[in-house]
Structure 1
Amino acid sequence: MKVAKFGGSSVASASQIQKVLNIANSDDDRKIIVVSAPGKRHPEDIKTTDLLLRLYEKSVAGLDYQNKKDEIINRYADIVHDLKMDTAILDEFSTILEERIEKYRAHFPRLKDALLSCGEDFNARLIAQYNNSQGVPTTYISPLDAGIIVTDTPQFAQILEESYGNIYKLRDIKGKIIVPGFFGYSKKGNIVTFPRGGSDITGAILARGVRAKLYENYSDVSGIYRVNPNLIKDAEIMDEVTYREMRELSYAGFSVFHDEALQPVQKERIPVVIKNTNRPQDPGTYIRYDREIRPDHLISGLSCDKGFTVINISKYLMNRQVGFTRKILTVLEDNDISFDHMPSGIDGISIIMRTHQIEGKENKVLNEIRKQCDVDELSIESDLAILMVVGLGMSQMIGTANKITEALAKANINLKMINQGASEISMMFGISVKDADNAVRATYEGCCCSANKIKSSVE
């Protein structure tokens, strides 16, 4: 059995939905289909989720929202008309929106989840009805009926372990199954949405629940590039990558596949393949538990993300002071701040975090660290980007760090810090935000292209 998820661009219009169903119906093993809300049909278009967000904002402000509701209904009406479907389904959508506004108008976080989830939910209902009309037995299954039970935390749903036993029962349903992505239901019966990339998460949960042999994730790209293709012309697409490598790359900006969606499938070692709805014949990129290390691809990929802040702390004989790091971490915990990296030396330590974690709390945190730790020097810097170089074979290659630093030095890029993960499959470099794009280009050209250039010159 396969689970296939289709992203917003794949289900943005009637013609795209027909492509999706051609793919879905072409393989009997492709039983469960997860769909997103309609995305952009062209660059100037508006995503359905954004239209629903505007409807929510009008509702909570107590303003007339009918025009916004009409925009949403018209978005689906375009699809319904182009597919020559019965327009009665549009009246159902309008009624559902009104009912949810009325039910949750006094509970803003609940209203937001209830409205935003309609993008995926309406699309799933529509696609299931259309596929049935084409003679393919298809069942729309809501996340509630599918057994996707989540924590009761608006916009931050987490799957409950007990859900997987319920989800397994989907195997008994005949024909195709269409499930809306992005949300689940709490035990109290509330609609709760997942964080960004929520449809990826839904697909992964269902794949694990039914013990699928493969989770297919369709979008508008033919796989995962080794580097941002907007920065590197003719960037290569990886044929395969491990869960661990993908997690590291996603952390530093890879957005093709949500890193939280790896957790359910990783647990059962279910492979994931990233495919292109518009070019389904392309092989795509497989994400697996393990892979063979190729000598010409010791570095799998690299990415760079911005928006980091670093706190630098110096204390003479810090390494001999018991509990020093614990005091620092207690200050962060007391201020509800999580950190990402903590490179250290014998007399110094750096705490790296996302800027939004500490924004507005900088002075308070620094003062508390001074008070609790009696430091010699203390500074904070927010103009930081993180360059992440990832590869399963890096630990087997002599001089990896030297090649990277040499490439960055040639590009006149100053390194603020270097840190290697305990797994030895990644290296992190702290640089100024202004150098981020040049750092990616320099590293890719200096470290990732060399093997291919040598191979080409030999041939």
Structure 2
Amino acid sequence: MKVAKFGGSSVASAEQFRKVAHIVQSDVERRIVVVSAPGKRYKTDTKMTDLLIQIGEAVVRGEAYEHVLEAVIERYADIARGLELSASKLMEQIKADLRQKIENYRHDRDRLMDALKASGEDNNAKLMALYLQSIGLNAHYVSPLDAGIFVTDEPGNAQILQESYKKLQQLKHRSGVLVIPGFFGYSLTGHIVTFPRGGSDITGSIVAAGVGADVYENFTDVDSIYCVNPSIVENPRQLKEITYREMRELSYSGFSVFHDEALEPVYKARIPVCVKNTNNPEAPGTWIVAHRDHRDEPVAGIASDTGFCSINVSKYLMNREIGFGRKLLQILEDEGISYEHTPSGIDNMSVILRANQLEGGKEQRIIDRIQTELQVDDIQIEYGLALIMVVGEGMERAVGVAAKATAAFAKANINIEMINQGSSEVSMMFGVKENVVDQAVRALYEAYFHSKQPLS
């Protein structure tokens, strides 16, 4: 059995719906289909989810929203017309459902936004099931409630409850093709609750783990995962295979193909993931697996992200002061701040974090508390940092991987602000100034991949 998830660009129009149907028809093992809300049809188009958010915000502000509601209905109707479907009844149901959600949650912003955003996937799944039926497939819409996707009750941050997996197992015994909306589940109190970023990917992963799928296919709009962001490096090398751990590191570090939280269910169940292109389904795609042969490819990829800062603290004999690091991190915890890395020396310690967390007066409070409570010699906050991650499970046993990176930076005349490597040695982190991050990534790509021929 295969679980196939189709992202927003894959279900954005009637033409894309036909491609999805062809993919589903071409393999009888594709028994479960998870769909996103309609994405952009062209560059300046508006995603369905964004339209639904506009409705929610207008309701909260007490403003008119009918014109946006009509735009939502028209978007679904346009897909139905393009598929030559008689869907007037479904359109009326969608409109009535949206009005009911607005009425139910008008005075609860968080619940309202969750219910409206989730409707994008929900109604698209109903439309997809209707289309698959129209071309002769034994297809059925299955709501997350009926499927058994039960989650915690924090709006916008749903986490799967373990009892869901037992209920999901029963989907294996249903006949035909099951179409399930992504992005949301139901709390035990009956509320719709959405997953965080990458929500439809999370649903697909949960369902694949629940039914014990042989493969989880994630269809998007690229032929494969690249070893580096193609907007930084032209025609970068495509990856045939990458491990769960490598993908997790790259996702965390800025790769947007597959969000890190979406990997957890399939990682635990050891279900291989194949990232494929809806527009070119014959392409082999990229496999995300537990293990790969990394003897000739110690580095899997390079990722970068901006918007970081570093809190740099110095104190003579810091290494002899028991509990210093704990006390420093406790100050950050008290302010509700999470950190990314903590490089340190014997008399100094740095804490890397997202710069936007220091807004609203937090920066000065933190500086004051560190100076008062820890009696440090010096404290500075450095902004404008970018982090670059070089990721690969083979780096642990390969000689000269770090030397290649530092040599590449030196050749490009780029100053390294900091270096950090985790104990697992799956990744190396380099901190550079934001204004040279793309140049730094290109230098690393040249060092690790340029001499290799692109894989087909």
Q: Please classify the TM superposition score into its range, dividing by the shorter chain length.
A: over 0.9
Matches within 5 A, 1:92-103: 92-103=93-104
Alpha-carbon contact 2:39-2:47 (below 8 Å) kept: yes
Report how far residue 359 of structure 1 moved: 2.5
Instruction: Note if 1:362 corresponds to 2:373.
Output: no
Give matches, 1:102-121, under 5 Å.
Answer: 102-121=103-122
The aligned counterpart of 1:446 is 447
Show the counterpart of 2:186.
Answer: 185
Q: Does 1:219 find its partner at 2:220?
A: yes
Corresponding residue for residue 20 of structure 2: 20
- Measured after TM superposition, the shift of residue 167 of structure 1 is 0.6
Counterpart of 1:351?
351
SS at match of 1:280: coil
C-alpha displacement of 1:36 = 0.3
Paired residue type of 1:222: D
Matches within 5 A, 1:153-232: 153-232=154-233
Aligned to 2:419: 418
Q: How does 1:4-83 map to 2 (within 5 A)?
A: 4-83=4-83
Query: 1:280-295 counterparts in 2 under 5 A?
Result: 280-295=281-296
> What SS is found at the alignment partner of 2:442?
helix
Where 1:228 maps in the other structure, the secondary structure is coil
Q: 1:409 Cα shift? A: 1.4
Equivalence for 1:457: none
SS across alignment from 2:393: coil
Aligned-partner Cα distance in 2 for 1:109–1:45: 26
The 2-side partners of 1:214 and 1:290 are apart by 15
- 1:290 is matched by which residue type in structure 2? H
C-alpha RMSD of the superposition: 1.2
The CA deviation at 1:432 is 0.5
Q: What CA distance in whole angstroms lies between the structure 1 residues aligned with 2:403 and 2:105?
A: 58
Q: Secondary structure at the match of 2:352?
A: strand
* Residues 1:393 and 2:394 are matched in the alignment: yes
1:134 deviation in Å? 1.5
Distance 1:231 1:362 in 2: 32
Q: Work out the CA distance in 1 between the residues paired with 2:19 and 2:451.
A: 39
More moved, 174-183 vs 20-29: 20-29
1:264-279 matches, cutoff 5 A: 264-279=265-280
**What amino acid maps onto 2:374 in structure 1?**
C
Aligned partners of 1:316, 1:139: CA distance in 2, in Å?
68
What TM-score comes out, normalization by structure 2 length?
0.98
1:421 CA drift (Å): 1.4
Q: Which runs of 5+ in 1 are unaligned?
A: 454-459
For 1:177, the aligned partner's letter is L
- The separation in 1 between residues aligned to 2:148 and 2:295, in whole angstroms, is 41
The CA distance in 2 between the partners of 1:56 and 1:6, in whole Å, is: 25
Aligned residue type for 2:305: D
Q: How many residues align?
A: 453
Q: With structure 1 as the length reference, what TM-score do the two structures score? A: 0.97
Give the equivalent residue in structure 2 for 1:338.
Answer: 338
Partners of 1:18 and 1:359 lie apart in 2 by 47
Deviation at 1:451, TM superposition (A): 4.6
Which residue in the other structure is 1:456 paired with? none
2: CA distance, partners of 1:232 / 1:160: 41
Gaps of 5+ in 2: none
The answer to whether the 8 A contact 2:237-2:449 is kept is no
How far off its partner does 1:202 sit?
0.3
SS across alignment from 2:230: coil
Aligned to 2:314: 314
Question: Helix, strand or coil: the match of 2:150?
Answer: coil
* 1:387-434 superposed Cα distances (whole Å, 9 cap, x missing partner): 100112112221211110111111111111000111112100000000
Moved more, 145-154 or 285-294: 285-294
| Paired AA for residue 43 in structure 1 | K
Equivalent-residue separation in structure 1 for 2:211 and 2:383 (angstroms): 45
Q: How has the CA–CA distance of structure 1 residues 83 and 451 changed in structure 2, closer, same or farther, with 3 Å as cutoff?
A: closer
Partners of 2:380 and 2:149 in 1: CA distance: 46
Q: Distance in 1 between matches of 2:308 and 2:161?
A: 32
Tell me what 1:301 maps to.
301
Q: CA deviation at 1:452?
A: 4.6
1:356 Cα deviation from its structure 2 partner: 2.5
Q: Distance in 1 between the 2:355 and 2:150 partners?
A: 32
TM-aligned CA deviation for residue 358 of structure 1: 2.6
* In structure 2, distance between residues paired with 1:448 and 1:134: 46
- Partner SS, residue 293 of structure 2: coil
* C-alpha distance after superposition, 1:334-393 (max 9, x if no partner): 111111111111111110111222323111111111122111111111211001001121
Deviations 1:41-79 (A, max 9, x none): 111111111111111111111111110100100101100
> Does 1:143 find its partner at 2:144?
yes
Q: CA deviation at 1:260?
A: 0.4
Are 2:252 and 2:259, in contact at CA under 8 Å, matched by a contact in 1? no
Distance 1:249 1:272 in 2: 15
Once residues 207 and 175 of structure 1 are traced to their aligned partners in structure 2, the CA distance between those partners, rounded to angstroms, is 16
Instruction: Name the CA shift for 1:451/1:69 in 2 (closer, same or farther; >3 Å).
Output: closer
Aligned to 1:437: 438
Counterpart in 2 of 1:403? Answer: 404
Residues 217-253 of structure 1: CA distance to partner in whole angstroms, max 9, x if unpaired?
0000011000111121221110000011011111111
Regions of 4+ moved over 4 Å: none
The one-letter code of the counterpart of 1:45 is: D
Amino acid at match of 2:447: G
Give the distance between the partners of 1:280 and 1:52, measured in 2 at CA. Answer: 30
In 1: Cα distance, 2:381 partner to 2:372 partner: 16
Give distance in 2, aligned partners of 1:409 and 1:366: 34
- Post-superposition offset of 1:293: 1.2
Q: Provide the secondary structure at the position in 2 that maps to 1:393.
A: helix
Partners of 1:165 and 1:432 lie apart in 2 by: 49
- The sequence identity of aligned pairs, in percent, is 54
